[in-house]
Structure 1
Amino acid sequence: MKKLKFILLAFITVVSFTACETDDDLEFVANEAEGIAFNTSFLENYVLNSSVQGNLAERFTWNNADFGVPTNITYYLQGATMADFSDYISGDLYDLGSNVANPEANEIPVTVGQMIDLAEAAGLNNEAGTNTGMLYFRLMAVIGDDGLPSYSAIQGLNVELQEETSVGGSDITPATWGVVGSGYNDWGGAGPDGQFYTTSEADVYVAYVTLIDGEIKFRENNDWASDLGDNDADGTVEAGGANIVVTAGTYKITLNTAAATYTMEAFSWGVVGDAYNDWGATPDAKFYYDYTTDTFKVDVKLLDGEMKFRFNNDWATSFPNDNIAVTAGHYSIAINLNDNTYTMEESDVWGIVGSGYNDWGATLDFALTQIQPDIYYGDIATLVDGEIKFRANNDWASDFGDTGADGTIDAGGDNIAVTAGLYRVHMDTANGTYSLYKIQ
């Protein structure tokens, strides 16, 4: 699945007509409208399941346009399946809503069902196997009752159609709920909420998140219209309840919205051994969850030696019984906790290098893990003031920078300036984008 980079234009242009002395002599004057742009924290991927068509897929929000003079402006959200909007036709399919009923509201909600209709118009369907692609959106601003329309920059979103699953089924999909807070993403200011996933039990969701000291809550659709807290710190949740105090660590959080309960438990699987960290002299190499395969994955550089997998950096729980002998190299490893099996293959391991992390390679790069094809993730990276790049296999044969500081990766590109802090890192080599979410 692909990540998405959004490019927002800072202005749109509207054309007005000024009459001159002769009726057939018209002067065209361009009026700049400052500030019209989506300000939504878009997701990297929107998973659309027909069993929840009425659920909110995204709440599109924006900044007001400013034409330099007081005026009434009505906004309309439009969708299309082509990047240049050449297939747009006025109608229910492509016209997704407006703020006509509430002109003061700078938001238009779009349901899962509306996005599915657009996705099917784009030719996406599960039967043909083409269930992933992009949809495109723009704002149309109209001055007064019948003024000339003006348009925002076109925004593309990655979407994935999933087959309908029965309630209580075993297929795992991203849920509408997430983890938000100073303990995760600076209350939404540092990237999307930590994702919950469905389980085999209706209304029970699970998230695997790495937290820092702080507070969290649970909210739906990355929005404050619906959130849950814990007023008495007793494991029960209340709508709009109190923040939940957390300490740094990696956790499995289980949320039961029907019973209004939740649990949090330390939960981290890692690679340990003389092939990695001298049997625990440093923290184990952490696995990341991949819901598409219901496995945990890690990309890691290993030395000649032996290794095992263990739980919470401790020997109380580990597998397999015998050590695994390995030869030095870069590997992608997946473990399946349903049957305690694992797969392991040599693979490129992308990581962070630079004066902002390891003095340009004085120690190992900060390794990212390929969660799904071309999608790499890493947390939590401790960076210092300086510069970084991305490179494969702790070597300069292949590296990415960012020429232009525009959020795209360029082979051999310019160094990326960073400031000291803790970061979650996303990189999409297929779409050529990256994100550095500074959480503290």
Structure 2
Amino acid sequence: MKNIISKLFSIMLVSLALYSCSMDDTNTVLNPTATTELSASESELVLLKENEGSDALSLNWTKPDYGYNATPEYIVYFDIAGNYFKNAVKREVGDNLEYSLLTEQLNTILQTLEVEPETKTTLDVKVEGIIGTFEIAAVSNTNAIDVTGYANILDLSSDWGLVGSATVNGWDGPDMPFYKTSDQDIFAAYVTLMDGEIKIRQDNSWDVNYGDTGADGTLEPGGDNIIVTAGTYKVTFNYGTLTYSIEPYTWGLVGSATTNGWDGPDMPLSYDPTSDQWRAIVRLTEGEMKFRRNNDWSFNYGDTGADGSLDDGGDNILVEAGNYLVTLNLNDLNYSLEPIEKLWGLVGDATPNGWDGPDTVMNLNYAEEGVWYLNNVTLTNGAMKFRANNDWGINYGDDGADGTLEDGGANIAITAGNYNIVLNLSDTSNPKYSITKN
């Protein structure tokens, strides 16, 4: 009797388990008609640079009926109207049912889509709900928004440049550029030169060129070559008076937080013509730092009061260890240290330091968010990958050799040569790169 009861009890348990599984299967069948309704806080926007830091646009969407208690991930897509999201900018927003953009974030999307500043453009916006890795479980309506963006970068370019054996590209060019200054007809070039000769010319052409016959600082059309010694300089060209000057000129970071301590040489900053500021991506240790010119204490800036303003000879600036985008603004006499989570570089047997590193560090493109580059890098026969912070925890390769990167993907084959390399992470869900041989 006990055996019969025991068997009946076992059969009941099995039946209950099968019923539960059946219920689970029923409850996890995706509703194929699941949709979501997208709404936007604005239908027309004019973005202004002075409103950076303020909310510009809020998007909200309804919770779809997936047919069971799903936990989706949502992606918001932006594209120019009529492009059917073929080149959409994507923003992953997790399981939230809303997404807000600051003025500068929406303006960056316009720039990524190559929309001209000050031009009214209709953006199409939609939301997709994703379950698992690939399955699109719900798609919203498309919402059209008229947006006018602004120029986020300065255009200080000019048609004047330096050419010659002392320049990086020699007598054939392209020339090292002069930039506009706040004074009309006065241009400045920030250059590193070799021992050799230079001239000033227009439009990378010999039709209009100036030299200095007599080496007296006065320019003559077609004049003599200007002799220079190796160094880093600010070259000032006054087109109005046809005069010029060449002076040693660098800005850098010095201090216990920097690579070479208080004795230097300083960690160099580079001139950024898109903002008329001096910038660098650096790794600092815990300690102190200051800004100084020409690796010399005769002209240095600190920050008395720790308020972000520069003071001539001011107090040392306290720094925590980390990666930073350092910006020195000599126009307004202020500075910033913006933490950078990832420093991207090249690693591999095609790179100078091989697979063990340290990696060949890339430069941040200040005009395009999420874009890193490296120009005139010499690589050997072999392979390379992109990785962050000299660590294999985050690295990209290219499984299909198609210019699209995959996390942990295949090594990228390289033949020996000199290259310009771009790493484009502006769309984090679709990272890309280009390698152009010079």
Could you say if the C-alpha distance between residues 246 and 338 of structure 1 is closer, same or farther in structure 2, counting changes exceeding 3 Å?
same
Question: For 2:363, which of 364, 368, 378 is the aligned residue?
Answer: 368
Question: Matched residues in 2 for 1:409 and 1:271: separation?
Answer: 36
Q: What are the residue-to-residue correspondences of 1:417-432 with 2, within 5 Å?
A: 417-418=415-416, 427=422, 429=424, 432=433
Identify the residue that residue 31 of structure 1 maps to in structure 2. none
Question: For 1:266, which of 240, 248, 255 is the aligned residue?
Answer: 248
Question: For 2:168, which of 185, 199, 213 is the aligned residue?
Answer: 185
Higher radius of gyration, 1 or 2 = 2
TM-score for both structures, normalised by structure 1 = 0.53
1:344 partnered with 2:365: no
Identify the residue that residue 33 of structure 1 maps to in structure 2. none
Could you say if the C-alpha distance between residues 175 and 349 of structure 1 is closer, same or farther in structure 2, counting changes exceeding 3 Å?
same
1:197 Cα deviation from its structure 2 partner: 1.3
1:296 Cα deviation from its structure 2 partner: 0.8
Could you say if the C-alpha distance between residues 381 and 328 of structure 1 is closer, same or farther in structure 2, counting changes exceeding 3 Å?
farther
Structure 1 counterpart of 2:344, one-letter code: W
Structure 2 counterpart of 1:203, one-letter code: D
Question: Matched residues in 2 for 1:272 and 1:384: separation?
Answer: 34
Could you say if the C-alpha distance between residues 220 and 261 of structure 1 is closer, same or farther in structure 2, counting changes exceeding 3 Å?
same
Could you say if the C-alpha distance between residues 211 and 339 of structure 1 is closer, same or farther in structure 2, counting changes exceeding 3 Å?
same
TM-score for both structures, normalised by structure 2 = 0.53
Question: Matched residues in 2 for 1:228 and 1:400: separation?
Answer: 48
Question: Matched residues in 1 for 2:229 and 2:373: separation?
Answer: 22
Question: For 1:203, which of 182, 185, 194 is the aligned residue?
Answer: 185
Check whether the contact 1:405–1:416 (CA below 8 A) recurs between aligned residues.
no
1:126 partnered with 2:139: no
Identify the residue that residue 48 of structure 2 maps to in structure 1. none
Question: For 2:194, which of 187, 191, 212 is the aligned residue?
Answer: 212
Question: For 2:158, which of 175, 191, 205 is the aligned residue?
Answer: 175
1:394 partnered with 2:390: yes
Q: What are the residue-to-residue correspondences of 1:24-103 with 2, within 5 Å?
A: none
Structure 1 counterpart of 2:234, one-letter code: K
Check whether the contact 2:347–2:357 (CA below 8 A) recurs between aligned residues.
no
Could you say if the C-alpha distance between residues 233 and 195 of structure 1 is closer, same or farther in structure 2, counting changes exceeding 3 Å?
same
Identify the residue that residue 231 of structure 1 maps to in structure 2. 213
Structure 2 counterpart of 1:342, one-letter code: Y
1:345 Cα deviation from its structure 2 partner: 1.1
Could you say if the C-alpha distance between residues 179 and 427 of structure 1 is closer, same or farther in structure 2, counting changes exceeding 3 Å?
farther
What's the secondary structure of 2:170's corresponding residue? helix
Cα deviations by residue, 1:164-210 (Å, 9 ceiling, x for unpaired): xxxxxxx76211111222322323667x4222111222211111122
Identify the residue that residue 119 of structure 1 maps to in structure 2. none
Structure 1 counterpart of 2:412, one-letter code: D
Question: Matched residues in 2 for 1:203 and 1:329: separation?
Answer: 42
Identify the residue that residue 301 of structure 1 maps to in structure 2. 283
What's the secondary structure of 2:167's corresponding residue? coil
Identify the residue that residue 412 of structure 2 maps to in structure 1. 414
1:329 partnered with 2:322: yes
Could you say if the C-alpha distance between residues 395 and 215 of structure 1 is closer, same or farther in structure 2, counting changes exceeding 3 Å?
farther
1:383 Cα deviation from its structure 2 partner: 7.5
Check whether the contact 2:365–2:372 (CA below 8 A) recurs between aligned residues.
yes
Structure 2 counterpart of 1:289, one-letter code: Y
Structure 2 counterpart of 1:414, one-letter code: I
Check whether the contact 2:167–2:176 (CA below 8 A) recurs between aligned residues.
yes
Could you say if the C-alpha distance between residues 233 and 410 of structure 1 is closer, same or farther in structure 2, counting changes exceeding 3 Å?
farther
Gaps of 5+ in 1: 1-82, 84-121, 131-159, 164-170
Check whether the contact 1:172–1:294 (CA below 8 A) recurs between aligned residues.
no
What's the secondary structure of 1:245's corresponding residue? strand
Check whether the contact 2:167–2:193 (CA below 8 A) recurs between aligned residues.
yes
Could you say if the C-alpha distance between residues 318 and 414 of structure 1 is closer, same or farther in structure 2, counting changes exceeding 3 Å?
same
Structure 2 counterpart of 1:233, one-letter code: A
Structure 2 counterpart of 1:394, one-letter code: N
1:213 Cα deviation from its structure 2 partner: 2.8
Question: Matched residues in 2 for 1:268 and 1:281: separation?
Answer: 16
1:298 Cα deviation from its structure 2 partner: 0.5
Question: Matched residues in 1 for 2:116 and 2:289: separation?
Answer: 43
Question: Matched residues in 2 for 1:382 and 1:228: separation?
Answer: 33
Q: Which moved more, 1:409-418 or 1:397-406?
A: 397-406
Q: Which moved more, 1:360-369 or 1:374-383?
A: 374-383
1:375 Cα deviation from its structure 2 partner: 5.1
Q: What are the residue-to-residue correspondences of 1:103-122 with 2, within 5 Å?
A: none
Please tell me the root mean square deviation across aligned C-alpha atoms, in Å: 3.9
Could you say if the C-alpha distance between residues 387 and 232 of structure 1 is closer, same or farther in structure 2, counting changes exceeding 3 Å?
farther
Identify the residue that residue 89 of structure 1 maps to in structure 2. none
Please identify which structure carries the higher helix content: 2
Could you say if the C-alpha distance between residues 297 and 418 of structure 1 is closer, same or farther in structure 2, counting changes exceeding 3 Å?
farther
Question: Matched residues in 2 for 1:235 and 1:388: separation?
Answer: 48
Question: Matched residues in 2 for 1:404 and 1:241: separation?
Answer: 54
1:396 Cα deviation from its structure 2 partner: 3.3
1:215 Cα deviation from its structure 2 partner: 2.4
Gaps of 5+ in 2: 1-82, 84-113, 123-148, 303-313, 427-431
Please identify which structure carries the higher strand content: 1
Cα deviations by residue, 1:114-159 (Å, 9 ceiling, x for unpaired): xxxxxxxx984535499xxxxxxxxxxxxxxxxxxxxxxxxxxxxx
Structure 2 counterpart of 1:180, one-letter code: V
Could you say if the C-alpha distance between residues 391 and 436 of structure 1 is closer, same or farther in structure 2, counting changes exceeding 3 Å?
farther
